[in-house]
Amino acid sequence: MLEHAWIIPALPIAAAALVGLLGRRINRFAGWITSAAIAGSLLLALRLMWDVLAHPGVKEITLPWLQTAGGLMIQMGMLIDPLSSVMLVIVTFVSLMVQVYSLGYMAEDEGIGRYFAFLSLFTFSMLGLVLSNNLIFLYMFWELVGLSSYLLIGFWYKKPEAANAAKKAFVVTRFGDMGFLIGILVVGYFLNTFNILALGDAVKAGKLAGGLATAVALLLFCGAMGKSGQFPLHIWLPDAMEGPTPVSALIHAATMVAAGVFMVARLFPLFAASETAMLTVSYIGGFTAIFAATIACVQDDIKRILAYSTLSQLGYMVMALGCGGYTAGMFHLTTHAAFKALLFLAAGSVIHAVHTNDIWKMGGLCRSMGITTAVMLIASLALAGVFPFAGFFSKDEVLVSTFLAGRMDLLFVGLLTALLTSFYIFRMFFVVFAGKPATDKHAHEASWVMTIPMLLLSILAAGLGAATAPFGHFLQASFGAPAMETEYHGRLIPALATLMAVLGFAWAYLVYLQKAVSASLLMRRFLPIYTLLKNKYYIDEMYQWAVQRIMFVVSRALAWFDRNIVDGAVNGVAWLCRLTGDGLSRLQQGRLQTYLIMFVAGVVIIIMVVLASNPTVLAWMK
Amino acid sequence: MTLTLTHYLLASTVLFGVGIYGAFSRRNAIGLLLAIELIMLAVALNFTAASNFLGTAGGQVFAVFVITVAAAEAAVGLALIIAIYRNQKDVDLDKLTLLKW
Amino acid sequence: MMTTVSFYLLSALAVVSALFLVTTRNLLHAVLALAVASLAVAGVMLTLNAEFLALVLILVYVGAVVVLGVFAVMLTGHFKKPTLPSSNELKIIAVVVSLALVTLLGGVILGQPAVTGLKEVSLDTVGKLLLTDYVLPFELVSIVLLAALVGSIVIARGKED
Amino acid sequence: MSIPYLSIISATPLVAAIIIMLLPRERVTWPRWVALAGAAFSLILSITVVAAYKLAAGGYQFLETHSLLPSLGIQYALGADGMALAMVLLTGIIIFAGVLASWDVKERPQEFFALLLILVSGVFYVFAARDLFLFFLGYELAVLPMYLLIGIWGTGKREYAAMKLTLYLMLGSALMLVGILAMYFAGGAQSFHLDHLRHVQYSRGFQITFFPILFLGFGTLAGFWPFHTWSPDGHASAPTAVSMLHAGVLMKLGAFGIIRIGVEMLPIGAQVWVPYLALFTLVNIVYGSLVAMAQTDLKYVIAYSSVSHMGIVLLGICTLNPIALNGAVMQMFSHGIMTGLFFALVGMVYGRTHTRVIPDMGGLASRMPFLSMAFVVGGLVSLGLPGFSGFVAELLVFLGAFRVYPLLSAVAVTGILFTAIYVLRVVQKMFFGPDKPAFDHVGDANWVEKSCLAILMLVLLGVGIYPSWLVNLINSSIGPLTQMLEVVR
């Protein structure tokens, strides 16, 4: 099976190419074709994981791709280890769920063929990224992931907001990728290899140390910040909600944002080589976690709440990775993939039913949409980290990893974030599903193609927690077990986390269901904070300002400079030539005798020259 | 103190120079033409002197040619002046500046 | 001795009348100065024993060129109002350039070894040369003369209609 | 007797041009068919020579030598190595696509196609020449028809643009000529043959003096900052096929000349000068993309993006590093195809919307899906997206450049970000957003246009996915070159 792992990404891309080339003629079957392809990939990925489980260890398959003079050798290759096999399953599973769901959700869209082609391209890119065995191919698929997200976010290109969001997503992540690319260049220069395993060995051999290691790690982390939406490159993620909702599910669960976390995990030895880098990574993660959670508390758009929730949870993962919690981060990624995909699909189902994103225009949906309510509840509990749902275990692991790393400040941040998480998700849940219907329109439960994926995902969101221990052991086989993680068997941290979840739940319950505390009163009391949060800390405005006032001004200034100074110099030279010509043509004034004098003067000069070169003629004078 | 070729050549050179000056500075086209005739005259003298001092008849032949050309030139030149005068009512060279840029 | 004196006198006369020619405001005077200069040069030629050329010179210059000049002056009406300044504003440059030219040429001439003693060049030889060695230039010059004749008539006549 | 492939490739367009001029004037559609046949023939032969080139042997192959002017040592000498073949192939592809893109030229089609083909013939001669005189001759043959093509078939300020472009390129070729003649005379004035000149031991002072002259001469054509301003005006005014050829092939002539004549003949001079020149190429990259961002005329955007991309080529050359040099030639190829695609698209979009002002467009994606898709592909290549040739090229340049100028390369990478910004802005403004009623009646590409675009896109994709075939070809000439540079160092 291992040698045939390439089929896993090949199936989706083949399906995408087929659907893309045949175009609108097969619109009706497009989704079925791509879904079938991805189902095939999923089966193969499961089989692959089975093989890896049976024979743990790291396998590498390479093919030469590019070779030049000067010792450059880039190979195309696959790295199959527990990490990649787990990611393959996550990616194919979530993708399949999203595809099937989309069959219902997007059924009436005229560009459905294009949609499924892009979706499959997305899956392909992510699978390729997961399988890459070297930085160059990692980067290549990394960029393709960015492209796919661009295409999908901007799928409804006629909506200016969607087109803008797509562009923003691409540019912001590319900003991070720039750092990533420079990091790759630095690595290539100093370690002279791009192979991930070889890099691990090189780091172990101590070839990367000190400031260099920090610089490399931080540069590479720039890429992860962009893709995984870490502060301050998080601004694209909420806007990406302009895309179709299943796409959001895919982006937020299994593909785009997971890429950053995956990359850090994949290149963990490089990060672990620098204490400073790890510290920075963990603080950025922690800050993003609480920062995004606070914003999520006041949003009105259901998808935006989930988007900021994703940011916050990604912060968790990054924080864990920064604390050396390699398996914790990956495990949270896995459970998060399940429950966040579920949250989005459920949200999509709601939006599909009520045709609005504003939670205040929903309400009382639990009566008409039973299944959706149920799965949303499961997902919310998982997100809030309530025992025994998956989120509880993974969040616990994250918090434990901060504790074990001795970062009490981060542990505190994590707990506080857990409180906020619980609050905002139940706020959303209560407002949307409980209470009285906000409109008279009667909402219907979605069709089976949409509910079945949700049900499947909810099983995972509920039950994945059982896999905690085996998951950890399995993953440790990659990179031969990072030594940082020791076992923790205390009860304090799970207890605290649960307490936080319950507190958050209670707060939301009191404010939004019981209305014991008036939400508007709270809002007025903390108006400045509310305004600040509502406006997302004005980060977007700052970027806007920086782009408009600095970049475009510089750009326009340079354009002016080019037209008027550089080209002006050129035209100036032309003008000077013309002026000289004009000036010299004044000599041609039409007066015969001037010409005559010129002529004779010329003769005089020639005679002088001749005489000067022939001094004997005038020798008598001396 | 006998006359040498140098004397004659110097005399013709001075005459030539005066003619050149005239050609430079006369405002009137007729004056210009006369100055040119003067130059021709100097050249003819030059040829003749050289011919007679060196004993080669060729110089005199050329002097004949020069005189002939001078006559032809005078004829054409003066005809031109008359033509110009008829058109412009003036033969002031400073005003005959049609052939410029 | 006689020749020497006459050379100096005649060439001085030629130069003086030439100077008068180029400076006078009255064109009629200038034409007359040309006649005087031609006669003086013809005289100088006589001191060279080149009687034939001297005669040709008088014939052509005084007889033809000067007459043409007078005609031109008359026809253009310049004899009555010598108001125009004789020279243009290039006078100073003209003086400098022509002086430089004369100086240079004079320098070169003075640098050459002095040739003394007139040789006899008979009219006979000149005539023979004209019709043997120089027959082609001679014929060409006659064509030039013819062309000038026709040309000047055509130009001076102008368009009839 | 082997087949003189290179002669046939180079002369075919010329012959086709002559045939076109002999056609009866009233048959207005014949010229384009003859042109297409000529271009196709050249293209097929170009592919054949690329396939027939023996990689293992390397060096110059398909050699032809005939004496032209023995007294001056001028020979009709052709021959191609891997790099030259890559360029020949590029030219073959671009002219084929260019003929397709100008299928609908209405005004004087006979003269148009004839001039276009003459130009291409000159380009082929430059790439295949082994004799500097022939090289220069080909160069002039390529530049001069440009004047007429822009002046007669152009749009906008075409006389100004044609004049500016031609004078500028003449300035470049004057500098070039100075360099060429200096090399000729310093080499004993016996031969213009490159093999002869390569073995002349030019003194250090000579090399230091003449390398910058040659670099500037060729660099002007390659859009070297600050001698790039002919490019926006020229490209904006030129007809579609001419823009394609110009940005796609002619600018590469400059870069090709720098490598073939500047670096190869004057290696010491190159080594002395490149660190300073590299700074200017950085300006090219970053400045070009920033200026492109502020443009509103589509053709200006693309012209400035060419300036930026040619900066990457020049940066690659200025490293003298084998990896980056490979990347530079790759970028020449990739950018050639990409910019050909772009200008073809601009022409087609303009032909439908009758505007090139970006803010005036919008919502075109639903009106012309194929053109939009092609434009997005072009944009993605331009911003260096993996899977397309541009990525491979830029990656190689940056990998190589980083070894020589780490800081400078790191700054140059920002150029990629700016490129992404302006490309995406253009795509968004032109194709996305709500439908505009003004464009209700515009249609998508016809089959001729589709095939033109499809060829270019397939090449970009093919090189991007499996670049080895092209890189190996290029590497076969870059390898020996850099070895020689090492020896000289």
D274-285 b/e with 16+ CB inside 10 Å = b? beebbebbbebb
Which residues 6+ apart lie within 8 Å of A320 measured at CB? A285, A328, A329, A332, A397, A398, A401, A402
Beta carbons of B44 and C53 less than 8 Å apart:
yes
* pLDDT tops 70 at residue A443: no
A188 touches chain D (CB under 8 A): yes
Token look-up 């504790």 returns A403
Strand partners, A73: A67
The Cα A45–Cα A437 span in angstroms is: 43
Average pLDDT of chain B, as a whole number: 87
**H helices of A208-362, where?**
210-227, 236-239, 245-253, 256-266, 268-272, 275-296, 302-322, 326-354
Which residues 6+ apart lie within 8 Å of A427 measured at CB? A297, A508, A511, A512
A520 touches chain B (CB under 8 A): no
Least CB–CB distance from B91: residue in C76, C87, C106:
C76
Contacts of C98 in chain A (CB under 8 A): 600
Beta carbons of C14 and B11 less than 8 Å apart:
yes
Beta carbons of A589 and B100 less than 8 Å apart:
yes
The Cα A559–Cα D288 span in angstroms is: 9
Q: What's the confidence (pLDDT) of residue C39?
A: 93
Average pLDDT of chain A, as a whole number: 81
CA distance C104 to chain B (A): 10
Contacts of C111 in chain A (CB under 8 A): 617-621
More confident position, A447 or D244: D244
CA distance A568 to chain B (A): 27
Residue of chain C with shortest Cα separation from A609: C104
A190 touches chain D (CB under 8 A): no
For residue range A557-577, what is the model confidence (pLDDT) as tens digits? 888 888 888 888 888 888 898
For residue range A450-478, what is the model confidence (pLDDT) as tens digits? 778 888 888 877 777 777 667 776 776 66
A167 touches chain D (CB under 8 A): yes
Choose among A95, A89, A76: nearest CA to A139: A76
- A561, two tokens: 């400079």
Least CB–CB distance from B20: residue in C98, C120, C147:
C98
Least CB–CB distance from A189: residue in D385, D392, D406:
D406
B99 touches chain A (CB under 8 A): yes
Average pLDDT value for residue range A12-24: 82
Residue of chain C with shortest Cα separation from B92: C84
Beta carbons of A185 and D402 less than 8 Å apart:
yes
Grouping H, G, I as helix, E, B as strand and the rest as coil, residue D104 is coil
**A86-89 long-range CB contacts below 8 Å, 24 or more apart?**
A86/A49, A86/A330, A86/A334, A86/A471, A86/A474, A86/A475, A87/A130, A87/A258, A87/A262, A88/A8, A88/A41, A88/A45, A88/A48, A88/A49, A88/A127, A88/A130, A88/A131, A89/A42, A89/A45, A89/A46, A89/A49
Beta carbons of C87 and B45 less than 8 Å apart:
no
* pLDDT tops 60 at residue C158: yes
Average pLDDT of chain D, as a whole number: 86
More confident position, A361 or A333: A333
Q: How far is CA D465 from CA A137, A140, A302, D308, in A?
A: 11, 11, 40, 24
**Mind giving me the DSSP string for D396-439?**
HHHHHHHHH-HHHHHHHHHHHHHHHHHHHHHHHHHHSSS--GGG
* pLDDT tops 80 at residue D300: yes
DSSP code at position A447: P
Which residues 6+ apart lie within 8 Å of A99 measured at CB? A31, A34, A35, A38, A116, A119, A120
Beta carbons of A158 and D434 less than 8 Å apart:
yes
Average pLDDT value for residue range D290-294: 86
A620 touches chain B (CB under 8 A): no
Contacts of B4 in chain C (CB under 8 A): 114-116
CA distance C37 to chain B (A): 8
Contact between D343 and D247 under an 8 Å Cβ cutoff? The reply is: yes
Q: How far is CA C83 from CA A34, A508, C20, C27, C77, in A?
A: 106, 115, 17, 10, 12
Q: What's the confidence (pLDDT) of residue C83?
A: 57
- D34, two tokens: 């003859």
Residue of chain A with shortest Cα separation from D402: A185
Choose among A276, A339, A342, A283: nearest CA to A101: A342
For residue range A578-619, what is the model confidence (pLDDT) as tens digits? 899 888 887 777 778 888 888 899 999 998 888 888 777 666
Considering the entire predicted model, what is its pTM?
Answer: 0.81
* pLDDT tops 50 at residue A483: no
CA distance C85 to chain A (A): 15
Taking only residues 581 to 600 of chain A, the set having a beta carbon closer than 8 angstroms to any beta carbon of chain B reads 585-586, 588-593, 596-597, 600
Beta carbons of A592 and B93 less than 8 Å apart:
yes
Q: What's the confidence (pLDDT) of residue A484?
A: 46
Share of chain C above pLDDT 70, in %: 91
Region of poorest pLDDT, from A270-284, A434-448, B53-67, D159-173: A434-448
Q: What's the confidence (pLDDT) of residue A468?
A: 67
First to last CA, chain D: 41
Beta carbons of B30 and C78 less than 8 Å apart:
yes
Omega before D226 cis (within 30°)? yes
Least CB–CB distance from C94: residue in A597, A603, A621:
A597
Sign of CA dihedral A373, A374, A376, A381: positive
Contacts of A140 in chain D (CB under 8 A): 386-387, 391
Grouping H, G, I as helix, E, B as strand and the rest as coil, residue A65 is strand
For residue range C30-46, what is the model confidence (pLDDT) as tens digits? 899 999 999 999 999 99
* pLDDT tops 60 at residue C8: yes
**A444-449 long-range CB contacts below 8 Å, 24 or more apart?**
A444/A353, A444/A368, A444/A369, A445/A349, A445/A353, A445/A368, A445/A369, A445/A370, A445/A371, A445/A372, A446/A104, A446/A105, A446/A349, A446/A352, A446/A353, A446/A369, A446/A371, A446/A372, A447/A104, A448/A104, A449/A100, A449/A101, A449/A103, A449/A104
* pLDDT tops 60 at residue A485: no
Contacts of A592 in chain B (CB under 8 A): 32, 93, 96
Region of poorest pLDDT, from A276-285, C15-24, C61-70, D191-200: D191-200
For chains A and C, count residue pairs whose Cβ atoms are closer than 8 Å.
36
Q: Are chains C and B in contact at 3+ CB pairs closer than 8 Å? A: yes
Least CB–CB distance from A618: residue in C93, C97, C107:
C107
Average pLDDT value for residue range B49-77: 89
Contacts of A617 in chain C (CB under 8 A): 107-108, 111
For chains B and C, count residue pairs whose Cβ atoms are closer than 8 Å.
254
CA distance C139 to chain A (A): 30
* pLDDT tops 60 at residue C2: yes
First to last CA, chain A: 108
Question: Choosing among C109, C110, C153, which should be mutated to test the B contact, i.e. which has the most B CBs within 10 A?
Answer: C109
